[in-house]
Chain A
Amino acid sequence: MAKRVIIIGGGVAGMQAAITLKKLGCSPLLIEKSVELGGKLNHWDRLFPSGMKAKELIQNMVDEIASLNIKIMLCSEISEIRHEGERVEVGLTDGNAFEGEALVIATGFELFNASVKEEYGYGIYENVITSADLEAMFSEGTVSTSTGLPPRSVAFLHCVGSRDLQIGQPHCSKVCCITGVKQAIEIRELLPECQIYNFYMDMRMFGSGYEELYKKAQETFRINFIRGRISEASETADRQIRIKAEDTLLGRPLKLTVDLLVLMIGKRAAVCNKTFADNLDIPLNESGFLQAKDDFYNNTATRHDNVFIIGTSLAPKTVGEALNDASMASTRIYDYLTRNERQL
């Protein structure tokens, strides 16, 4: 009989783990708290750097899960986890409980709540939105201000809720730099006459194709990059947003009035990480992400041979990295579950 592996979290990482494990002959159980698979990507329009639709990726994976007959549990929230030797038991809030021989934690991240940085005016001024709000606009195909008109000028502020020691978010969220470039280009595509500014501290173009996209943003899409962090935003009488920053390359304070301010919100460690850390005795890092055994061969492993962590439960990651984690963890689990057979 195939060995049962419980996967908590039905985002891309969890789905990928389920698919790989099933193909390796295990019996994965995918537990997802919301009504559908796909996680955060359900609320995202296009993916960097290629511009592929997130829906397309999710649909492909959901189809594969269906064709492989993988058991999924939607609308299911975990209430307890017990780990005893080689067995893992997961209890749900509806009273059901499942037993498995291995566990994959793929619960992902949370988006930073931009209203914590009150000085940027999110939740106070209608024309201050987040990068997630903008994706929702892209999905609907129109970008508009609170008046319903297309913005004549848009400013992006990078690193909101990232690299910020004041609010316990010391880490870099990794995806916002490139997302800011991607979104700026998308606005330009929708609104050829719009003035677009990206306020950044560092442009971290680490991935394949990122630097090229940045170059295109400068060259082809005429995006203005200003090196400086916005310190505060206020609203004018006609609901425009007035921002204050320093143009650090000129060494002078800068004022700018725009129709729309987009805050590039970072990734926050999920609250549930603490529960996993307490129940399974897994360390948390400074930002509250779960820590794997090491950063190399064991970068998804834990102190328990049959418990693995993948994706953004570990750190801010791109979609591709989360998928790689899933494959890595799946082969390790397969190794673990078949260890006795191999010895024979």
Chain B
Amino acid sequence: MMNLYFEPFIIPFCIGVVVLFGVMWTKFISWISRLPKTDKRLILKNAVSSATFAALWEVIRECLLHMRIRRVNLRLWYMHMSLAFGWFLLIVVGRIEGGIALGSLMNPPYVDVFFRKYFPYIHIPGFGFLMDLILLFILSGLGLAVYKRFNSRKLGMKRTTRLKRTDRVALISLWCIFPVRLLAESFNSALFESGSFLTGSLGDLFALIFPTIALYYINNLLWWCYSVVLGTFFIMLPFSRYLHIFAEIPLIFLRAYGIRAKANPTTFSKLQIAACSRCGICIDPCQLAQNNLTNNTQSVYFLRNIRDKEQSPDITDHCLLCGRCEQICPVGIELNTIRISSRHLQRAGEIRFDYSYFRGTDLSAGEGKVGYFAGCMGQLSPKTAAAMKRIFQESETDVWYADSEGSVCCGRPQKMAGNLDAARQMTEYNTSLFEKHGIRTLVTSCPICLKTFREDYRLPDIEVLHHSEYIARLLETGRLKRNPSSKILTYHDPCELGRGSGIYDDPRKVISRIGILKEAPDNREHSLCCGSSLGNTRLSTPQKIQIAKSVTDTYEKTGAEYLVTSCPLCKKALGRTSRIQVIDLSEALFLE
């Protein structure tokens, strides 16, 4: 029979481990088993493929080494990495030490964890030193964590996350674990000479100060404490933000298999929410925070509120959906989608939007091979519409103008507000309109429409293009000819086009055909939001103008003559505050 090495002081630790794994596995299994069928099919299809190895590699890189945080902030990375990777090493090296010492790898886990207490006289060369080194490594990261909590700016972050009670208990027990271990091992060493350079030296010091009998009692007490803080932390872990330590692992695998969050939420969203480490990296890039417009609606707080079941529209709705936080999130949480699904749930019981009046609004006649959809905002931007008309004429394109012939709103504004059923009604109506006209290509000037056409519409026979892509193609194939001038232009990436649809290069290609592009410091995936995003229904006009001002300031500093963008809403928003002329990409082709 296996030796159980039972001692009373391991009881808190053991309870902790049982609760931790019991609760955690229950949660994970229930979430994964309740995934929609299509997602489960994806798992079965992709589990036996290179995706699994890629995911495994990502787990090592992200869950242990936190390489994505490293790109954002070195010191913050060291803090997260030293705790995660250090603790991992402590467990692995401890296991090996225990295994070698006892000649078996089947020992109960507490034997490794409390190895010095159990076997103070066993010295395996090198391990004492190694374990001290790892402990020091963790303690250095912990020091940074404590420092960050009280002084977040010094670590390169302007704001840090605020805490709830469960998190506070978990946090304090986590903070205690390693200092208590240091003390326990040091007192142990004071009695038994079991330590190396760190715990050994401290132990020598304690041996000088305390009489042996005191050392004996303090040592026993400290190992009890160590067991208690570990147990407390483990019990709190599945109920606190520290669940992220484990939740990120299944998340990485499922994501590798192609599973994504959905506006109508699935349990995959729950897993994503649990994987949030509340590192707070999402706070600083938030322009609502930068402009002091709100300090409690950022993604980290939003996710915390979902987990704590304290959602309110005041928080859920107050977000631009610009995607700057999603882009930087080291865990890769689909923050925009989760935000939209949260709005969807909040509005579920409200009066149904009824667009039965769409029947009979189709005024269309004739067919064209290319459909042009200016979009609602595009209709308030006649300069863009006029430029697009000239482009179609110049390239001799046969066009069907959807807006004047009965198309309705694309549905994305309603989707962003969480009204998925309303959005679906528009999607269906417009789809039948496009199909009826047999268009092969659908060009839109509005990135908001583009995103929903690509992601939510089923248009298998129609190629959907943003006008920036379309114009770039016309220039490339020579159907449109332009000679570069010496004009200096800067470019604003619209959120829905850049981060939303990954289109960064085409507008730049067009601009470099007609002039010299001068980038603002925040460009491409880091570009700022104009502030007038349809994603946020809470901002007042003066607040939107305030954000726009902070954005146009950065473009004015480039010294460009024109600020080019490719979204009618961005153009309107930035035009209100910009001292340099704001034009659409299509207009840029006709500058004199």
User: Which A residues have a C-beta under 8 Å from some C-beta of B?
Assistant: 116, 118-119, 121, 124-125, 165-168, 232-234
Contact = CB atoms under 8 A, between A and B. Distances in A.
Contacts of B541: 165-166
Contacts of B379: 232
B382 A168 contact: no
B591 interface: no
Contacts of B380: 118-119, 232
Nearest to B404: A234
27 contacts: A116-B575, A118-B380, A118-B381, A118-B382, A118-B383, A118-B572, A118-B575, A119-B380, A119-B381, A119-B382, A121-B382, A124-B382, A124-B383, A124-B386, A125-B382, A165-B541, A165-B542, A166-B541, A166-B576, A167-B576, A168-B545, A168-B576, A232-B379, A232-B380, A232-B382, A233-B382, A234-B382
Contacts of B542: 165
A337 B505 CA distance: 67
Contacts of A234: 382
Nearest to A115: B383
A45 B498 CA distance: 51
Given A118-B380, A119-B381, 16 more contacts: A116-B575, A118-B381, A118-B383, A118-B572, A118-B575, A119-B380, A119-B382, A124-B382, A124-B383, A124-B386, A125-B382, A165-B541, A166-B576, A168-B545, A233-B382, A234-B382
Interface size class of B (residues with CB under 8 A): 10 to 19
A160 to B, nearest CB: 15
Interface in B362-394: 379-383, 386
Nearest to A233: B382
Contacts of A119: 380-382
B390 to A, nearest CB: 12
> What does DSSP make chain B's interface, helix, strand, loop or mixed?
helix
Nearest to B545: A168
A141 B264 CA distance: 66
A81 to B, nearest CB: 23
A233 B381 CA distance: 10
| In the A-B complex, the 5 residue pairs with the closest CB atoms | A119-B380, A121-B382, A124-B382, A124-B383, A124-B386
A233 B385 CA distance: 12
A119 B182 CA distance: 70
A125 B385 CA distance: 12
Nearest to B386: A124
A236 to B, nearest CB: 11
B402 to A, nearest CB: 15
A146 B383 CA distance: 19
B408 to A, nearest CB: 16
A298 B500 CA distance: 56
A121 B572 CA distance: 14
A296 to B, nearest CB: 30
Interface string B541-554: 11001000000000
A168 B572 CA distance: 14
Contacts of B575: 116, 118
